[in-house]
A and B are shown apart, each in its own frame.
Chain A
């Protein structure tokens, strides 16, 4: 398996534009997590899904952020409209529910100018 695949790896966009980040979890994993990492706040959980259903989105900063998981092999994190303070590295991770190890994607480095 290729691991958790995120795209794009880097994204630079102008303030106000819509940004969509994509994640393909490891096949068979039924839990998927979106994290954000910044220098100021470190790693933070934004939202996680079990069996494609959002379980906890309390970490989503505000209504500009939305996440979907239309099927077991794909998830998106959308920011609309984007703001400079959204600049961060966004990680997706997947896990077999109850298993010890979570596997992280390489991250998407987002810069909003």
Chain B
């Protein structure tokens, strides 16, 4: 079993839909990251969380440390949000353990 599990693996949505991507992990962590990988391959860091909730524009990330679970929400989704979203945890070192990613496609 992977230490970091994401669901769903693939997600399609219509423009304007509210999207949720989930991440569960089984190890103790100091922080959790959400990354976005564009179709061209570039990776961008979206959030780093150690508790609670963070918001940046239409993106919201939450984490529940007790339940070892995080969610990434996208409000009013847009085709330009189409990308692979990757959850990664820091297990008390600088090392990141990655989930396998969620491929999101948003259609107009």
Contact = CB atoms under 8 A, between A and B. Distances in A.
Interface residues of A, number: 23
B42 interface: yes
B41 A107 contact: yes
Contacts of B41: 89, 106-107, 109
Contacts, number: 49
A31 interface: yes
A55 B95 CA distance: 10
A101 B98 contact: no
Contacts of B45: 100-104
Interface in B55-88: 86, 88
B: contact size bracket: 20 to 34
Interface stretch (A17-25, A43-51, A68-76): A43-51
Interface string B88-108: 100001111111110000000
Nearest to B96: A45
A109 B42 CA distance: 12
Contact of A42 (B33, B42, B44, B98): B98
Interface of B: 31, 33, 35, 41-45, 48, 86, 88, 93-101
Interface of A: 31, 33, 42-45, 48, 50, 55-56, 89, 91, 93, 95, 97, 100-104, 106-107, 109
